[in-house]
Amino acid sequence: MKLLKKNLAKIKKVNKVAVSSFIDRAIEHRLFKPIVISIITSFILFRGFEYTKTFILDYKESNARISRSKPIKINISGQGKNFNLEEDQTVEHRVRNGDTLSKILSDNGVDDQSVSSILNAVKKVFNPRSITTGNNVIIKYHVKIGYDTVGVESGKNMDRRVIVDSVTIIPSVEERIVASQKSDGEYDAREVKVKLLRYVSRYSGTLKDGLYNDGVASGISATSMMNMIGLYSYDVDFERDIRSGDKFEMLVESFYSEDGKKMKDGNVLYSSLTLQNRVIDIYMHKVDGRVEYFDPKGNSVRKSLLRTPINGAARISSGFGLRRHPILGYSKMHKGVDFAAGTGTPILAAGSGTIVHFGIKGGYGNYVKIKHNSDYSTAYGHASRFNKKFRLGSKVKQGDVVAYVGTTGRSTGPHLHFEVIYKGSQINPSKVKATSGLRLSGKELARFQSSKSEIDKYRKNIPNQIKR
């Protein structure tokens, strides 16, 4: 027992010596002082920030209490006298998810009787249930505050009412629904068409930093550039086909209000890409009132399958074929094409068809498979989430957003894994020869040639918006 105590005493002594020696060495180390100073400075800054934040909040709360504690004093002398205060107000409300016209009015203090009268008037020209997220509702009203000295003793001498002068619903940039109060206190609604002025602009330039980036930098709207990219996604591999020095040209519509404010983008009337080995011209033409796009010979640019089934700028990060797997670490056949893109980038259906798989599938993570016909299917892997509009068995059209880019499953980063499946086996998507859709002929072809000539006149006469 004595021997054990003696050994423990030695161990404690040794440990104290070792600890003391370690501390001395640490203090003498050249990084000791900078580290300690950094820790102390960080602590002081953090505490100082917290103190300042608390001081500001206390100050604001104190001011709010002072403001609330100072009522408006109105001196009224004499019995039987009364007065009214009126104040005009305008509220512009952006419709959020779950909003209804009735709720919007009620939330702004409108009484139930007035809400009912406004809704009944609006229903005659517009379905109030048609308002959607992002629409604007403008309410013009005045607050009427009445004071009657007769009711002082009963405590009911104050009367506050919200009287709506007009309600304007803006379902689109070209339409207004206006409900106005009549002289009898009821409401009357009417539909107002907004006159927009159409302008056509021409942009022509040389690519340096990518089609989308160069286009937007030149003044073309992001919407128009995305429309242009969508047109070429049938024929162009944006990673391999486009090079710095290639040329582009666009004719785009824009619509403005009479006071000169841009209200919306219009259609892409013409688009041209001059690549290293070919020129691709695309013309807009309406068929049965529907906007379509054709090559100069009247063949639709829409093909049976998209080559780039992604909405936005994307690059091919891995092609079809044998490769060393980035996670598994050994060579493995890569049976698709990977498009690197940011998380949340829309994934498009490469062709029309039926969804036959819509959920998690092993290393693919979130996975969508679309059957286009008895021979062809396409698949989309690693999605971050699905489009809630669709489910297993849903019919989709070419270009519909079915999911969004992510990195679920066996993945090292956000990208779309895209497969083309022919008779049950994956094939190289770049080797698929997609067939063209609509081909114009007869009178419709003659109409197209006429509209093509008009577009070519625009190209000749409208100056280039890109300053060289």
Which pLDDT score, from 0 to 100, does residue 214 have?
A: 85
Closest listed residue to residue 139, CA positions, set 102, 184, 183? 102
Please say which residue of 193, 213, 232 terminates a domain.
193
My answer on whether 105 and 151 are in the same domain is: yes
Q: For tokens 């796009």, what's the residue?
A: 293
> Using alpha carbons only, how large is the chain's radius of gyration in Å?
34
**pLDDT the model gives residue 321:** 65
Q: Do residue 189 and residue 207 come from a single domain?
A: no
Asked if residue 394 and residue 321 are part of one domain, the reply reads yes
Task: Answer with the residue of higher pLDDT: 445 or 321.
Answer: 445
421 Cβ contact list (under 8 Å, min separation 6): 369, 376, 377, 378, 379, 427
Answer with the one of 294, 327, 346 that is the final residue of a domain. Answer: 294
Residues 328, 386 share a domain: yes
User: How far, in Å, CA of 284 to CA of 269, rounded?
Assistant: 5
The reply to whether 86 and 186 lie within a common domain is yes
Which pLDDT belongs to residue 375?
A: 83
Domain boundary among 131, 164, 193: 193
Measured in whole angstroms, how far is the alpha carbon of residue 289 from the centre of its chain? 28
pLDDT tens digit sequence for 125-171? 999 888 888 888 999 988 776 655 555 454 455 566 778 889 999 98
pLDDT in tens, 352-395: 889 999 999 988 999 999 998 888 899 999 999 999 999 999 99
- Same domain membership, residue 159 and residue 90: yes
- Domain hosting 134: range is 82-193
pLDDT at 30: 59
Residue 415 domain flag:
yes
pLDDT cut 70: percent of the chain above it:
72
Residue 64 within a domain: no
CATH number at residue 358: 2.70.70.10
Selected residue with higher pLDDT from 43 and 141: 141
Residue 51 domain-assigned?
Answer: no
Pair 116, 166 in one domain: yes
State yes or no: pLDDT of 84 exceeds 70.
no
Looking at residue 10, what is its pLDDT? 52
Do 259 and 353 sit in the same domain of this protein? no
In a domain? residue 449:
no
* Domain match, 254 and 320 both: no
**pLDDT at position 31:** 59
Q: Pick the range with the lowest mean pLDDT from 84-93, 107-116, 168-177.
A: 84-93
Residue 309 pLDDT: 86
- Give the per-residue SS3 of the chain: CHHHHHHHHHHHHHHHHHHHHHHHHHHHCCCHHHHHHHHHHHHHHHHHHHHHHHHHHHHHHHHHHHHHCCCCCCCCCCCCCEEEEEEEEEEEEECCCCCCHHHHHHHCCCCHHHHHHHHHHHCCCCCHHHCCCCCEEEEEEEEEEEEEHHHCCCCCCEEEEEEEEEEEEEEECCEEEEEEECCCCCEEEEEEECCCEEEEEEEEEECCCCHHHHHHHCCCCHHHHHHHHHHHCCCCCCCCCCCCCCEEEEEEEEEECCCCCEEEEEEEEEEEEECCCCEEEEEEEEECCEEEEECCCCEECCECCCCCCECCCCEEEECCEEEECCCCCCEEEECCEEEECCCCCEEECCCCEEEEEEEECHHHCEEEEEECCCCEEEEEEEECEECCCCCCCCEECCCCEEEECECCCCCCCCEEEEEEEECCEEECHHHCCCCECCECCHHHHHHHHHHHHHHHHHHHHCCECCCC
At residue 68, the pLDDT reads 39
The answer to whether residue 19 is domain-embedded is no
Pair (355, 389) in one structural domain = yes
Q: How many domains does the chain have?
A: 3
What's the CATH code of the domain at 232?
3.10.450.350
- Give Cα 467 distance to the centre of its chain: 30
Query: What value does the mean pLDDT take over residues 6-12?
Result: 51
Q: Which is more confident, 311 or 296?
A: 296
Asked whether residue 133 falls in the same domain as residue 231, the answer is no
How many CB atoms within 10 Å of residue 390? 19
- Are residues 154 and 204 both part of a single domain? no
Spatial CA neighbour of 301 closest among 407, 437, 169, 448: 437
User: CB burial class (10 A; 0-12, 13-18, 19+) of residue 419?
Assistant: buried
